[in-house]
Amino acid sequence: MKIRVGFGFDVHRLIEGRELWLGGIKLEHELGLLGHSDADVLIHAICDALLGAANMRDIGYHFPDNAGEFKNIDSKILLAKTIDLIATKGYRVGNIDATVCAERPKLKAHIPEMQEVLAHVMNIEPEDVSIKATTTEKLGFTGREEGISAYATVLIERD
């Protein structure tokens, strides 16, 4: 069996007038993330980690932010397409370990649903999707609630 690891990072600005999507679910919040798609930073970080692990460049290469077909797209669709892309090289997801950095909203209660949704999209068990939430103790752009960032590490494998 061959295994590879990948790392992903994403960040989006918080603004008024947008929905907040994180980990494939819509959260109630007065601000949403700005982006060409639904701006789900967690899914974008996971996509980048998966593509990097398979040595297939990055999310912007495959799903450019100037392509009309991806305007306001549900990031779960991008994740499913990413799973299909790594499968062309014979890879499947082993596990995901991700961290979301946000002051608000508090994410702890939403993590199990995120795990279920993401596991379903990637056709893996929820136990194989670790999601952690943290703040930056009011430091930096996340601390000032100007944006949200996410980090993801993945393991992919093939026989």
Q: Which amino acid is it at 100?
A: V
Is 97 annotated to bind ligand?
no
Q: Is 149 annotated as a binding residue?
A: no
Is 153 a known ligand-binding residue? Answer: no
Q: Which ranges of the chain have pLDDT less than 70?
A: none
Per domain, the residue ranges of the chain are 2-158
Residue 65: its pLDDT value, please?
87
Q: For residue 119, what are the CA distances in angstroms to 55, 77, 108, 123? A: 22, 13, 17, 6
Q: Kindly report, residue by residue over 93-102, the tens digit of the pLDDT.
A: 999 999 999 9
- 120 has binding-site annotation: no
**Is 99 annotated to bind ligand?**
no
141 annotated to bind ligand: yes
The CATH-assigned architecture of domain 2-158 is 2-Layer Sandwich (3.30)
Look at residue 16 in the predicted model and tell me its pLDDT: 97
SS3 87: helix
- 88 labeled part of a ligand binding site: no
